Amino acid sequence: MTGQVVEDLAEELAQRWAPLFERIGWPERLELLHQMHEQLQEDLDDLEMYCAVSPVLTRKIIEKVSGGPITSAAQAHIYANSADENHRHAAGDWLSLHQGSHRPGGVG
């Protein structure tokens, strides 16, 4: 599997789902992302491919729907599962400031 295949699949999925993500808040986005990841894992039926696509899909959704800083725990949990290192650092920083030693859980 190439990086381009992963990027292309994640982009296709992000484009399909971004309009719905734009209309809902961060807690609902987190729940929807959980559901999407469960379905993606089932549909791909390939753990290696799922593990490659999942964080890239999360990054692409963030890029399509978010333009500002992290403002909630739900948003931080989503950012924590992004392929983008800056997103993950922002999530860790927010969670350490707002929730002490609480650590984000995985999306998939």
Radius of gyration of the chain (CA): 13
Q: What angle do CA 104, 17, 59 make, to 5 degrees?
A: 40
Q: Considering the chain, what is the average pLDDT of its residues?
A: 90
Question: Taking the model in full, what pTM does it have?
Answer: 0.86
The per-residue pLDDT for range 30-84, each reduced to its tens digit, is 999 999 999 999 999 999 999 999 999 999 999 999 867 999 999 999 999 999 9
Helices (H), 3-103: 3-22, 26-44, 47-65, 73-79, 85-99
Lookup result for tokens 């997103």: 87
